[in-house]
Amino acid sequence: MRMNRLTLPTATAYHVMSRVIEHRFIFGDEEKGYLSDLMRRLETFSDCKVMTYVFMDNHFHILLHVPERREIDDDEVKRRVAILYEEERYATMEENWKRWIEKGGDEQVKEQLDGFRARMYDLSEFMKTFKQRVSIYYNAKHDRHGAGPLWQDRFKSVLLDEQQAQLLVATYIDLNPVRAGIVNDPKDYRWSGYAEAVGAGGLALDGISNLFMDSTLTKKEVLAQYRQHLYCVGAQKVDKITGEVIKPGFDCQAIDKVLEAGGELSIQQLLRCRMRYLSDGVVLGSKAFVERMLAEHSHHFSALRCRRGASSMKHGESCGLCTVGDFRSTVVFPSAWS
């Protein structure tokens, strides 16, 4: 018998997770990129805040803060809907609203907008939309029609107390790739909140900052403290008799090195995390150049990217350059230059 999901009407954080059916390893970088983009669009639409996350090959974890519901006007609803849906789909909605109003169907428009409002500030609606859209995307991409469900079961959720519980869960989430033996350092796993915060900042860094109650901390200090916390909690477990590693993690030497550095990354490490701007960017150059490429080749980019325009590289090494879109972080090893 399944236990009823526990949710609260007040602002609350939840650890949500879901696994692919039969634990199949089906999510590659392209699928994880879709999951990441969809998660951020849903974050804006719902006004729920992602504190951290990890997308693995056969499951995902998200630490999600769901605020209290608040009233928003019709223009704000439409703005959020335009972000959640593709341009063509939203244009059809706008055309329908216009036609309904012309025929005196104001109530019909109100009913649809209220339907969108009801899907905001809601954990179940966030996860329902997320998992449904991932299923539609994956089934279409892999010609999986009629192959049955994609997910093992309904999503799991854990209601979390204040900062201590949230920090513990965030640590567990960002250590997933280390525990799985995929990377030795959590900053090197591209599809996680911590790695995104290190490489790109933005919403990912805001999310991790919300794990700390001290509002006087700078973003740099937040990352340094969180890195030290990850390493201390993520120590490997070793059998005292055989010396065999029974739980992957960080050895004493790695932990001491991070603590000695105060949790800060070297310039070289930061550059490696941020180099994806140069390796994965479609366009790189001055703001004027990027904007011109977007205008002249709009068919090559999504409507959302065209609306966002040129994105300034956010770090000191950027030399004022801009690129198309905001990219996740990854590590570029020396062999990548050959």
Which DSSP string do the residues of 268-337 spell out, in sequence order? Answer: HHHHHHHTHHHHH-S-EE-HHHHHHHHHHTGGGS-HHHHHH-EEE--SGGGTT-EEES--------GGGG
Give the Å distances, CA to CA, from 71 to 55, 76, 121: 32, 10, 11
CA–CA gap between residue 211 and residue 165 (Å, rounded): 10
pLDDT one-digit tens code per residue, 206-223: 999 999 988 889 999 999
What pLDDT does 118 receive?
95
Tell me, yes or no, whether 247 lies in a domain: yes
Mean pLDDT value of segment 249-266: 93
Split at pLDDT 50, 70, 90, the class of 322 is confident
243 with 282, same domain: the answer is no
Phi and psi at 187, nearest 5°, equal -70, -20
280 with 221, same domain: the answer is no
What pLDDT does 2 receive?
53
pLDDT at 119 over 80: yes
pLDDT at 330 over 50: no
Tell me, yes or no, whether 105 lies in a domain: yes
What's the number of domains the chain is made of? 3
Split at pLDDT 50, 70, 90, the class of 325 is low
Split at pLDDT 50, 70, 90, the class of 201 is confident
188 with 98, same domain: the answer is no
What pLDDT does 331 receive?
32
Mean pLDDT value of segment 315-337: 46
Q: How far separated are the first and last CA of the chain, in Å rounded?
A: 57
220 with 297, same domain: the answer is no
Split at pLDDT 50, 70, 90, the class of 86 is confident
179 with 253, same domain: the answer is yes
pLDDT at 137 over 70: yes
Tell me, yes or no, whether 137 lies in a domain: no
180 with 240, same domain: the answer is yes
Q: Using the 3D structure, point to which of 210, 233, 265 is the last residue of a domain.
A: 265
Mean pLDDT value of segment 167-175: 95
Tell me, yes or no, whether 144 lies in a domain: no
Tell me, yes or no, whether 38 lies in a domain: no
Contacts of residue 12, defined as CB under 8 A and 6 or more positions apart, other chains included, come to: 65, 66, 159, 160
pLDDT at 338 over 90: no
Split at pLDDT 50, 70, 90, the class of 42 is very high
169 with 202, same domain: the answer is yes
Look at residues 38, 187, 203 and name the one whose alpha carbon lies nearest to residue 126.
38
Q: Using the 3D structure, point to which of 62, 96, 118 is the last residue of a domain.
A: 118
Mean pLDDT value of segment 134-142: 93
What six digits make up the tokens of 100?
Answer: 């309904």
pLDDT at 84 over 80: yes
207 with 300, same domain: the answer is no
Tell me which of 3-7, 225-229, 266-270 is least confident.
Answer: 3-7
Split at pLDDT 50, 70, 90, the class of 277 is very low
Tell me, yes or no, whether 13 lies in a domain: no
Tell me, yes or no, whether 319 lies in a domain: yes
pLDDT one-digit tens code per residue, 46-81: 999 999 999 999 999 999 999 999 999 999 999 999
281 with 261, same domain: the answer is no
What pLDDT does 164 receive?
82
Mean pLDDT value of segment 114-120: 96
256 with 175, same domain: the answer is yes
pLDDT at 326 over 70: no
CA–CA gap between residue 22 and residue 27 (Å, rounded): 13
What pLDDT does 281 receive?
52
Contacts of residue 218, defined as CB under 8 A and 6 or more positions apart, other chains included, come to: none
Residue span of the structural domain in which 172 resides: 162-265
What pLDDT does 146 receive?
73
Q: Using the 3D structure, point to which of 118, 144, 176 is the last residue of a domain.
A: 118
| 78 touches 48 (CB < 8 A) | no
pLDDT at 165 over 50: yes
CA–CA gap between residue 189 and residue 205 (Å, rounded): 15
Question: What's the distance, CA 302 to chain centroid?
Answer: 19
CA–CA gap between residue 34 and residue 134 (Å, rounded): 8
DSSP 150: S
Tell me, yes or no, whether 57 lies in a domain: no
179 with 260, same domain: the answer is yes
Angle between the N-to-C axes of helices 106-118 and 87-102, in degrees from 0 to 180, rounded to the nearest 10: 140
pTM: 0.81
184 with 241, same domain: the answer is yes
